[in-house]
């Protein structure tokens, strides 16, 4: 009687693993950099944080930066959601995009010590400034 239960659990594990492989796991690593001397606010609701392409004319305080490095193929919605969540931790009402480019983040070196080869390692880096309207 134990064999069918083990078989079902094993099959369920295979299905879960296959689903992960098919859908892929795109991650967005982030780093929060609060500005020194910036006003402190309680966290805001991430769903209400706007993503802006340019700085608004409305008066606001700059709270800090969110630096994100998404994996290739990460959907834009997932990136924006992560930026909103991180900016909300500073109490932001909006996040203003200031940088979205490929950037060299390191060098990969391989081969024998007498004839090494080097290649630049690049990744997408996105920087937004979290702001709070006055």
Torsion of CA 59, 63, 65, 66, to 10 degrees: -100
Does residue 33 have a pLDDT over 80? yes
Q: Is residue 106 part of a domain?
A: yes
Q: Is residue 5 part of a domain?
A: no
- Rg for the chain, CA atoms, rounded: 21
pLDDT for residue 49: 98
Distance, CA of 128 to CA of 134 (rounded, Å): 19
Q: Is residue 7 part of a domain?
A: no
pLDDT for residue 26: 82
Range of the domain at 102: 26-133
* Closest by Cα among 11, 45, 49, 25 to 133: 49
pTM, to two decimals: 0.76
80-92 pLDDT tens trace: 999 999 999 999 9
| Average pLDDT of the chain to the nearest whole number | 89
Number of domains observed in the structure of the chain:
1
Does residue 108 have a pLDDT over 70? yes
Does residue 6 have a pLDDT over 70? no
């Amino acid at each position: 009687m134990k064999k069918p239960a083990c078989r079902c659990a094993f099959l369920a594990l295979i299905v879960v693993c296959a689903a992960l492989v098919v859908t892929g796991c795109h991650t967005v690593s982030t780093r929060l950099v609060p500005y020194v001397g910036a006003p402190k606010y309680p966290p805001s609701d991430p769903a209400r944080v706007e993503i802006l392409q340019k700085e608004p004319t409305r008066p606001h305080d700059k709270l800090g930066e969110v630096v994100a490095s998404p994996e290739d193929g990460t959907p834009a919605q997932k990136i924006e959601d992560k930026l909103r969540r991180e900016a909300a931790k500073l109490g932001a009402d909006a996040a203003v995009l200031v940088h979205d480019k490929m950037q060299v983040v390191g060098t990969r070196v391989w081969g024998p010590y007498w004839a090494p080869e080097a290649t630049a390692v690049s990744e997408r880096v996105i920087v937004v400034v979290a702001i709070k309207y006055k």
